[in-house]
Amino acid sequence: MAVKKPGGNDSKARRRVFLTLAAALAGAAIGIATFLRLTQRPPVEVPKPTSPTPTTIIPTPTPADISASRVDSVPIDPDDPKWNLVREVEFTLDPQAMVRPFEPSPGVKSVKVKALYDAENIAFRIEWADKIPDFGLDVDRFSDRCAVMLLKYPIPDELAGKAWMMGTPEYPATMLVWEARLQLEAEKGLQDITDMFPNIAIDAYPPYKGTVKEVEPKPIRIGEVKGEEVYLAAFAAGNPITKVRLERKPVEKIIGKGPGTIITARTQDANGKGKWSNGVWSVVIVKRLRASDKDQGEIELTPGNTYHIAFAVWEGSKGERGSRKGVTSLLTLRLE
Amino acid sequence: MPRVYNWQIGREMDYPYPAARPKRQAAGIFNLNKCIGCQTCTVACKTTWTSGRGQEYMLWNNVEDKPWGSYPLRWDVKILSMLAKLEPIRWKKEGGTWVYRGKTIFEAAPPGEIALGYMPESYDYAFPGIGEGEASTSLRLGSHRAPFDPWFFFLPRICNHCTFPSCLAACPRQAIYKRDDGVVLVDQFRCRGYRECVKSCPYKKVFYNPVTRVSEKCIFCYPALEKGEIPRCFRNCIGKIRMFGYISLPEKADPENPIDFLVHIKRVAAPLLPQLGLEPNIYYIPPINIKNMDFVRMMFGPMGEEAINNYVRAIEKQDIEVIGALILSNSTDRIIHRFKVIGGEYVAGYNEKGNEVIRIPITEQVVVRPYYDEKLGVYRRNDV
Ligand code: SF4
Ligand code: SF4
């Protein structure tokens, strides 16, 4: 199966015009050019949000950047053969540079994306190159992550730049964030201090009586002893991320209305699966078409419609987290 | 970027948010001349707040030997050299006030960052006691040579509950907030563990819990403060070096408030690394035995050197008010809002309502017990 990058043959003429314009802008003022790049984000290899789809193997009548085809049931495994039937599109990732702090040169340069949907769910398969998988299991380590952001379509031009930054109050963004650490915890349970430091020696944790060593071979795990939450502040406070972890979900469903506003949606019904092999992360993120948290601003998807979509990747070994990330421009998705 | 006035550096500076001083600012004074390095404060904090999973390496209160020790490793040297590489650290006295003419960490922020900072490595937290006793034993025995004379002092450190916290400024989620009483907290519900606060606090007093995957920090024992009691590390201090209270702005200094009196009026205490621009609220009476004044100026600014002189002078002159205020340091569990020297013999502390909560003699009373107690007909000996 061939991989086609947007900005192929039939958009060459437009690209030339655009490059001339970009060169003129860059010559005029780097600051202004950077600002425009950030708000409108038309990088060389990625078409403008509204530009038509480039050459594809199966020609599609729609102008969306990504088209999701209908199947009987969507696969959750990134290695499922169903994915081989789907056209893959590659998008460049640029630094998020609207909100400080940011990483001027993100570690991951592009993502390859596929999409499928069935009567109930939509699934995205996201793939990127990453030499070392990171799970963020120490104070100085950060987990690899990727996210899909969905927004209503169309968003008026003057709001598009803002909405691209995790939504606005009028155009809330639904984000589905997959995280390597959550994947590990979904498979192996909450990662405890004994998983991070197998040789740790601790006299005792309240409210336990024995030492960590004494309870071997099976170390006591979080949640096994009543009353421990008091000593795990974020759990005691009911931090939503702790709930996602306790439910063993590798994907968190988030609603955003602008930078710094994101909340974990009430119903955590998104799912997914990520696998790393030979320097490549392949991740599937599955979301229900129906919005279960509409009142919180979750997007509802219906077949035949178009939506705005964007992707983000965080490279853990480069210390990327939160606002330090690589992002695509605001693209379009169509459910065929 | 908004401009805010930082009285510790005598000028306005850049800060990501407009100035919003709390109703009152919780503060502390640590008299380094009296700290014996017993770590009782460290243990008091550890057993109260950080005995859970993921907190093993955390010391919200730590005591390090200076100049040899540091926790996390080289925290002070690292940030100071990062800052000094950009611009020399310069102070100038202008009209009786020290004005810092170098850059603060906010002003020195690289592009894309909110403050100059670095992410400590896991390893950096592994040696909380490094340098302990170095100056006293090995050096004297000639084990190695050092660039300093073999002097040292203990430096107890907690979060400074800064007026312009960089932890708060750097959080892209606004999960850190400053309360009405000046206490700076990480919201355990909102935090998502990005650790921007860990990176940008130059004092390295925010810690990441890898088990809960959320950042945590000193809470100044706010449940105690709300009851009118001083924090645990103050309360348990063996050396009675710690005074808790609320500090005013210098122009509003109240001579009856012991913190205002010692910091603003008598100027015997100075903040830690004021040049970084955070307006930290733990004030130190620097140790008078430091031979190297450059070191004092580096750690406490030029006010640090003045504080030593003022302190020595006050003790030599037997300034009864300074001595009175100082001996109130954790003499009671209650927070002292006002103090008064009574009849030159006693000093009394008052709570917020103005009720007396403590009265102690200024001169320690000496009771001589005879070797032979005639009344009881016994010998008193302490040599067996
Ligand atoms: S010392 Fe550090 S953690 Fe404490 S308030 Fe200041 S910047 Fe924040
Ligand atoms: S308890 Fe007091 S004397 Fe002991 S180390 Fe702590 S601050 Fe110093």
Closest alpha carbon within chain A to B176? A260
Give yes or no for B47 touching A (CB within 8 A).
no
CA angle A136, A140, A143 (to 5 degrees): 20
Give the separation between CA A17 and CA B62, rounded to whole angstroms.
62
pLDDT at A201 over 50: yes
Interface ipTM: 0.91
Say how many Å lie between the first and final Cα of chain B, rounded: 70
Query: DSSP per residue over B163-204, as a string?
Result: SS-HHHHH-TT--EEE-TTS-EEE-TTT-----HHHHH-TT-
Q: Min CA distance, A313 vs chain B (Å)?
A: 15
Predicted local distance difference test score (pLDDT) of residue B255? 98
Helix (H) / strand (E) element for A246: namely helix A240-246
Nearest ligand (C-alpha, residue B177): 1
pLDDT at B185 over 90: yes
- CB-CB contact of A54 with A250 (8 Å): no
- pLDDT per residue over A62-98, tens digit each? 579 999 999 999 999 999 999 999 999 999 999 999 8
CB contact (8 A) between residue A181 and residue B213: yes
Predicted local distance difference test score (pLDDT) of residue B355? 98
Tell me if B241 CB under 6 Å of ligand 2: yes
Give yes or no for B210 touching A (CB within 8 A).
yes
- Ligand 2, from B29, B71, B154: best to mutate by most atoms within 8 Å of Cβ? B154
Q: Which residues of B, range 73-112, sit inside 8 Å of A by Cβ?
A: 111-112
Residue B229 three-state SS: strand
Alpha-carbon B98 to chain mean position: 20
Among B12, B87, B96, B57, residue whose Cα is nearest residue B302: B96
What average pLDDT does the segment A110-115 reach?
98
Give the separation between CA B46 and CA B35, rounded to whole angstroms.
19
Among the partner residues B122, B194, B209, nearest to A322 by beta-carbon distance: B194
Q: Helix axis angle, A30-40 relative to A12-28, nearest 10°?
A: 140
Among the partner residues A222, A240, A321, nearest to B194 by beta-carbon distance: A321
Predicted local distance difference test score (pLDDT) of residue A322? 95
What average pLDDT does the segment B1-16 reach?
97
pLDDT at B107 over 60: yes
Q: Min CA distance, A200 vs chain B (Å)?
A: 10
Mutate to test the interface with A, among B124, B195, B211, B219 (most CBs of A within 10 A): B211
Just give the CATH number of A66-189+254-335.
Answer: 2.60.40.1190
Whose tokens are 């690589």? That residue is A326
Q: Where do the domains of chain A lie? A: 66-189+254-335, 190-247
Give the separation between CA B204 and CA B194, rounded to whole angstroms.
15
Predicted local distance difference test score (pLDDT) of residue B384? 52
Query: DSSP per residue over A111-170, as a string?
Result: EEEEEEE-SSEEEEEEEEE-SS--B--STT--B-EEEEEEE-SPPPHHHHHHHHTT--SS
Q: Min CA distance, B122 vs chain A (Å)?
A: 6
Mutate to test the interface with A, among B188, B196, B198, B215 (most CBs of A within 10 A): B188
CB atoms within 10 A of CB A77: 13
- pLDDT per residue over B282-309, tens digit each? 999 999 988 789 999 999 999 999 999 9
Predicted local distance difference test score (pLDDT) of residue B2? 95
Give the separation between CA B250 and CA B256, rounded to whole angstroms.
14
Q: Min CA distance, B319 vs chain A (Å)?
A: 46
Predicted local distance difference test score (pLDDT) of residue B147? 64
What average pLDDT does the segment B10-28 reach?
97
Among A217, A221, A189, A190, residue whose Cα is nearest residue A208: A221
CB contact (8 A) between residue B112 and residue A101: yes
| Range in A13-27, A90-104, B222-236 with the lowest mean pLDDT | A13-27
pLDDT at A325 over 60: yes
- CB-CB contact of B182 with B279 (8 Å): no
- Which tokens in the block code for residue B254? 């109240």
Nearest ligand (C-alpha, residue B278): 1
Whose tokens are 């107890």? That residue is B156
- Which tokens in the block code for residue B383? 């040599």
Tell me if B232 CB under 6 Å of ligand 1: no
Neighboring chain B residues of A254 at a CB cutoff of 8 Å: none
| Range in A45-59, A239-253, B100-114 with the lowest mean pLDDT | A45-59
Give the separation between CA B252 and CA B312, rounded to whole angstroms.
26
- pLDDT per residue over A137-173, tens digit each? 999 999 999 999 999 999 998 998 888 889 999 999 9
* CA torsion through residues A304, A157, A291, A245, sign: positive
Give the separation between CA A326 and CA A102, rounded to whole angstroms.
9
CB atoms within 10 A of CB B267: 16
Q: Considering only CA atoms, which residue is closest to atom 4 of ligand 2? A: B38
pLDDT at A273 over 50: yes
- Which tokens in the block code for residue B180? 């009405």
- pLDDT per residue over B245-280, tens digit each? 999 999 999 999 999 999 999 999 999 999 999 999
What average pLDDT does the segment B323-336 reach?
97
pLDDT at B166 over 90: yes
- CB-CB contact of B215 with B60 (8 Å): no
pLDDT bucket at A219, cuts 50 / 70 / 90: low
Give the separation between CA B54 and CA A248, rounded to whole angstroms.
20
Predicted local distance difference test score (pLDDT) of residue A212? 57
- Which tokens in the block code for residue B244? 């808790």
Neighboring chain B residues of A323 at a CB cutoff of 8 Å: 172, 194
Whose tokens are 């789809």? That residue is A53
Helix (H) / strand (E) element for B285: namely strand B282-285
Give the separation between CA A319 and CA B359, rounded to whole angstroms.
54
Tell me if B157 CB under 6 Å of ligand 1: no
Q: What amino acid occupies position A138?
A: D
Residues in contact with A37: Cβ distance below 8 Å, sequence separation at least 6, in sequence order: A43, A94
- Which tokens in the block code for residue B29? 């004074």
Predicted local distance difference test score (pLDDT) of residue B68? 85
Q: Of A193 and A295, which is predicted with more confidence?
A: A295
C-alpha gyration radius of chain B: 22
Predicted local distance difference test score (pLDDT) of residue A19? 41
Report the mean per-residue pLDDT for chain B: 94
- Tell if the pTM clears 0.80, that is, is over it: yes
CB contact (8 A) between residue A232 and residue B52: yes
C-alpha gyration radius of chain A: 21
Tell me if B217 CB under 6 Å of ligand 1: yes
Give the separation between CA A331 and CA A310, rounded to whole angstroms.
6
Q: What amino acid occupies position B217?
A: K
Residues in contact with A82: Cβ distance below 8 Å, sequence separation at least 6, in sequence order: A71, A74, A75, A116
- Which tokens in the block code for residue A34? 């950077």
Tell me if B162 CB under 6 Å of ligand 1: yes
- Greatest Cα pair distance, chain A, in angstroms, is 73
Give the separation between CA B321 and CA B351, rounded to whole angstroms.
18
pLDDT at A296 over 60: yes
